[in-house]
Structure 1
Amino acid sequence: MMLITPLDAAFLISETREHPMHVGALLLFEQPDGAGSDFVGDLYRRLLTWDRVGPLFRRRPATPGPLIGAMRWYDDQDVDLDYHVRLSALPRPGSTRELLTLVSRLHGTLLDRHRPLWEFHLIEGLADSRFAVYFKVHHALVDGVNSTRQISQMLSAEPTAPLPPPIWAERNPAGSPSSIAVKRSIGRQLANAVGEIPSVLHSIGEAVGLTPTLARLLADGLRRDDTALPFQAPKSMLNVPLSGARRYAAQSWSFQRMRAVGKAHGATLNDVLLAMCSGALRRYLLDADALPGESLVAAIPVALPVDRDTDGGNAVTMVLCSLATDIDDPHERLRRIHTSMLAAKNVMAGRSALQISLFGLATATGPTAANLLPGFAGRARPAFNLVISNVPGPRSTLYWNGARAVGWYPVSIPTEGNAVNITVVSYADNIEFGLIGCRRSIPHLQRLLDDLEHSLRELESAPPSSQQGRRPATATRRDV
């Protein structure tokens, strides 16, 4: 058995029926030319032949309870692939709306803690000879970066390449038996614990060294509008208790369009992404007559500078960014967002992974624990209004058994007190948006897709002085 790290354990402890804590991905594929009518069914049967499951996908809590079960992993040697890998079909010809409705429903159900914490759904019946994969895995097992990397490994750069092992397959089947691997893992943990005792004082020193930085951040936040602090975010319709039902929406935008906006304004792609979200949220809340007078604040996940391996887990923290939703001018909003993110980056510059993690714990991750207190969410000011995450993905077109992957949409987690999550993955020439929200609290979530397009067009039009006379980019968004 393996011990569960505190961060991974937090995702298990905080999970309830209303708050599933798994992340996922929706991938769209076009069948290759000449594919038979049973192409997807044959692919499903081939997937089930990979019955040697890798260590990460054998893990389940040693006990199913939320607290004791968050202490150690059990290595399940009897994984039932027929349960975890499922073939579904939409009524032909299945529409995008029907696919997203299915994903919304699948993403709202809890993973069974008596089994390893993942499911893989192969979905056929879509129009235009397309099919889909919806994959979900508990956040205690992976973060967005690890999940994206694992999905990439089951795809190929060439359409004629042999079918790679699926995401759950053991990558080293000729290696040591899993029981030995688990024993070695426990031994490694114990050896590391003993070996790291001399470094405890150094870690304490790093934590103490962060205190002046936090004090300076607090002073800047009280003095400047562009430095975001926890519990500065205004109350809004986004910050309410959740139900268990989910609504999901997804769409693609051209990487070229967003990069052109960033180049025109001296901003990063991530700044433009945040400005798109800011404008869309402002428009959505204005339409609902619910825009707060103060700026919304977003929590932005940041990958920690650590070596990643196949053991999974989470190596991420969060920083806060003012979205400047109280500003009408879209270009000024982008400038303010750029300044706010620059302030957060300056705090992290030159810091160790431990210090960056502690900074995120103090300013973003830690304060959200208050939402677990009964009645807290919806009464006090939120630590932040929503999470907006940008996960780097493969920049070239990939294939699966000859089928071209035409879309890769993240499916993330709304949390108690934060009823909407916006996550994007870069894939090939596009930025793929996945929006997930509480079905009861956030009406007509899909309207945010139109609002995102409107927001990007605002940034492209009425350009700053450096852009006068230039025409906005002509590339358009791509519907799912």
Structure 2
Amino acid sequence: MPTDSVFLLGESREHPMHVGGLQLYEPPAGTGREFVREFYDQLVAQQELQPTFRKRPAAFLGTLASLSWVYDKDVDIDYHVRRSALPSPGRVRDLLGLTSLLHSSLLDRHRPLWEVHVIEGLNDGRFAVYTKLHHALIDGVSALRLMQRAMSTDPDDLEVRAPWNLPKRTHKPPQSSRWGSLMRGVESVAALAPSTVSLARAALFEQQLTLPFGAPRTMLNVKIGGARRCAAQSWSVERIRNVKRAAGVTLNDVVLAMCSGALRYYLLEQDALPETPLHAMVPVSLRTEEEADAGGNLVGAILCNLATDTEDPGKRLEIVSESMYKNKTVFSQLPRIQALALSMVNMSSLALAAVPGWVNSTAPPFNLIISNVPGPQEQMYYGGARLDGSYPLSAILDGQALNITLVSNNGMLDFGLVGCRRSVPHLQRLLAHLESSLKDLERAVGV
């Protein structure tokens, strides 16, 4: 897919293009300190890998290409799957500090583009698994489904299944030459051009869509460094569902309004709130159920008016809901190839941000990405260990210094925040502001 190539072409030291996830587990009752070691040993013992996990950029004319792939026959599993321990006192804060460092580093393009880190040493006895995969390899929805397939709803199921060893349902690796693979990549990008131009023109004239490059410039829309800071917290789905019912909107509308209020609090605190509303890019999956494990990227992108210029939280929720309804209505009427083309317009900053001076001289296409990924609705276990939290950690871009992604998980919404360490000070304060914003919405709708 053309979006796969964009994620490779847009990567640099300042812009790692991987997606990640931090999962917290409670070991089974009665197990000792050896549980995590045995868990890790069972993972690395599984050295048969599915094609997605053997895939790396091809070497073409002596250099690594970004539009074609090769598949490694021999993968060094000990490099890709690592075991770490936290320093004392082993707080969640220490775990997030280590995760921030791991999330800042580039994946090695000379190897398949993924890593798994099993992390022990939390003072409450839990352990964590941090996973990262290149966004060109797989999108967040597919990655989450793979992890979910490795787990079980049965606490007595002690088998540790490796995501890289799960059988695929439909996808087969291409058998053609590197040259043919490269040419198809170039042609697929070029083929979108007429459709993209046509859709952009229609949107401009009909004014049906929230358009890119109409967002205000904020402290979040600057050139970024390579260091990341991560933050994570969970909220009850029931609290958010109560607001949804009372207001007559969707659950995702409430989530977006919750983020909007938190961003308003944060920017006011930094004396950096613009007079016009922030816009969020909201990814939407274009996959059918049959394509769930196909790898690659089938993700669309629509834009939402966050109404951060509106003080009243109830009114802000109304504006967010109306914006999402109008944009989704237009988007849903497009054939998938045209939906992808429109998404390429909305995500054009991936390519344009690399142009010298572009970020500083143009309005941002949007201010940040807010993504809500469906997750398991039941309590999940991994090798008998109970899943306590599943926090998605995505990529940030030049001109896009903050990303908010959340996953539903057994009655909770697990939020993962990623910010540029230099450009987004005190990222963890956004967690308190998210709670304040949700309380504002609860008061506004009377729940």
Pairwise TM-score range, normalised by the shorter structure: over 0.9
- Alpha-carbon distance in 2 for matches of 1:170, 1:372: 37
Map of 2:26 onto structure 1:
30
What is the one-letter code of the residue matched to 1:394?
Answer: P
- Alpha-carbon distance in 1 for matches of 2:330, 2:291: 23
Q: Deviations over 1:183-230 (max 9, x none)?
A: x6439x989x99xx9xxxxx999939x94x654532454xx9xx5211
Q: Which of 315, 318, 325 is the equivalent residue of 1:342? A: 325
Q: Which of 249, 274, 293 is the equivalent residue of 1:267? A: 249
More moved, 35-44 vs 431-440 = 35-44
Map of 2:147 onto structure 1:
151
- Alpha-carbon distance in 1 for matches of 2:443, 2:374: 27
User: Is residue 2:361 matched to residue 1:379?
Assistant: yes
- Alpha-carbon distance in 2 for matches of 1:57, 1:125: 28
User: Is residue 2:204 matched to residue 1:218?
Assistant: yes
Q: Which of 162, 172, 176 is the equivalent residue of 1:186? A: 176
Q: 1:414 to 1:367 in 2, by over 3 A?
A: closer
Structure 1 residue 62: Cα displacement: 1.4
Q: Is the Cα contact below 8 Å between 2:18 and 2:395 reproduced in 1?
A: yes
What does residue range 259-408 of structure 1 map to in structure 2 within 5 Å?
Answer: 259-306=241-288, 307-362=290-345, 364-408=346-390
Q: Is the Cα contact below 8 Å between 2:253 and 2:317 reproduced in 1?
A: yes
Q: Is the Cα contact below 8 Å between 1:61 and 1:70 reproduced in 2?
A: yes
More moved, 97-106 vs 53-62 = 53-62
- Structure 1 spans left out of the alignment, 5+ residues: 176-180, 198-202, 473-480
Map of 1:431 onto structure 2:
413
Map of 1:461 onto structure 2:
443
Q: Is the Cα contact below 8 Å between 2:142 and 2:295 reproduced in 1?
A: yes
- Alpha-carbon distance in 2 for matches of 1:220, 1:447: 40
Q: Is the Cα contact below 8 Å between 2:104 and 2:228 reproduced in 1?
A: yes
Q: Is the Cα contact below 8 Å between 2:10 and 2:350 reproduced in 1?
A: no
- Alpha-carbon distance in 2 for matches of 1:375, 1:64: 30
What does residue range 35-46 of structure 1 map to in structure 2 within 5 Å?
Answer: 35-46=31-42
Map of 1:249 onto structure 2:
231
Map of 1:62 onto structure 2:
58
More moved, 155-164 vs 279-288 = 155-164
Aligned residues: 438
**Secondary structure of the residue that 1:328 maps to in structure 2?**
coil
Q: Which of 431, 434, 438 is the equivalent residue of 1:452? A: 434
Runs of 4+ aligned structure 1 residues displaced above 4 Å come to: 64-68, 203-206, 213-216
Structure 1 residue 361: Cα displacement: 1.8
Q: Deviations over 1:378-413 (max 9, x none)?
A: 331101100111111111110011110010000101
**Secondary structure of the residue that 2:163 maps to in structure 1?**
coil
Q: Deviations over 1:316-343 (max 9, x none)?
A: 1211111000100001000000111111
Q: Which of 81, 88, 108 is the equivalent residue of 1:85? A: 81
Structure 1 residue 37: Cα displacement: 1.8
What is the one-letter code of the residue matched to 1:112?
Answer: D
User: Is residue 2:2 matched to residue 1:20?
Assistant: no
- Alpha-carbon distance in 1 for matches of 2:61, 2:401: 25
Q: 1:238 to 1:156 in 2, by over 3 A?
A: same
- Alpha-carbon distance in 1 for matches of 2:82, 2:280: 36
TM-score normalized by structure 1? Answer: 0.86
More moved, 43-52 vs 132-141 = 43-52
What is the one-letter code of the residue matched to 2:117?
Answer: H
What is the one-letter code of the residue matched to 1:357?
Answer: L
- Alpha-carbon distance in 2 for matches of 1:244, 1:448: 21
Structure 1 residue 372: Cα displacement: 1.3
Q: 1:396 to 1:64 in 2, by over 3 A?
A: farther
Q: Is the Cα contact below 8 Å between 1:368 and 1:383 reproduced in 2?
A: no
Map of 2:195 onto structure 1:
207
- Alpha-carbon distance in 2 for matches of 1:238, 1:250: 19
Q: 1:242 to 1:367 in 2, by over 3 A?
A: closer
Q: Deviations over 1:337-395 (max 9, x none)?
A: 01111111111233211121112223x11254221111211331101100111111111
Map of 1:240 onto structure 2:
222
Q: Cα RMSD between the aligned structures?
A: 2.7
What is the one-letter code of the residue matched to 2:13?
Answer: R
Q: Deviations over 1:233-263 (max 9, x none)?
A: 0010000001000000000000000011011
Q: 1:16 to 1:272 in 2, by over 3 A?
A: same
**Secondary structure of the residue that 1:310 maps to in structure 2?**
coil
- Alpha-carbon distance in 2 for matches of 1:160, 1:107: 32
Structure 1 residue 90: Cα displacement: 0.8
Q: 1:141 to 1:204 in 2, by over 3 A?
A: closer
What does residue range 34-183 of structure 1 map to in structure 2 within 5 Å?
Answer: 34-63=30-59, 68-169=64-165, 171=167, 182=173
What is the one-letter code of the residue matched to 2:115?
Answer: E
Q: Is the Cα contact below 8 Å between 2:6 and 2:350 reproduced in 1?
A: no
- Alpha-carbon distance in 2 for matches of 1:161, 1:421: 35
How much identity, in percent, do the aligned residues show?
A: 47
What is the one-letter code of the residue matched to 2:369?
Answer: V
Q: 1:100 to 1:342 in 2, by over 3 A?
A: same
Q: Is the Cα contact below 8 Å between 2:225 and 2:422 reproduced in 1?
A: yes
- Alpha-carbon distance in 1 for matches of 2:60, 2:130: 24
- Alpha-carbon distance in 2 for matches of 1:95, 1:65: 48
What is the one-letter code of the residue matched to 2:356?
Answer: P
Structure 1 residue 74: Cα displacement: 1.3
Q: Deviations over 1:253-294 (max 9, x none)?
A: 000000110111111011001000100000100000000000
Q: Is the Cα contact below 8 Å between 1:316 and 1:357 reproduced in 2?
A: yes
**Secondary structure of the residue that 1:343 maps to in structure 2?**
helix
TM-score normalized by structure 2? Answer: 0.92
- Alpha-carbon distance in 2 for matches of 1:44, 1:389: 30
Q: Is the Cα contact below 8 Å between 1:206 and 1:354 reproduced in 2?
A: no
User: Is residue 2:397 matched to residue 1:415?
Assistant: yes
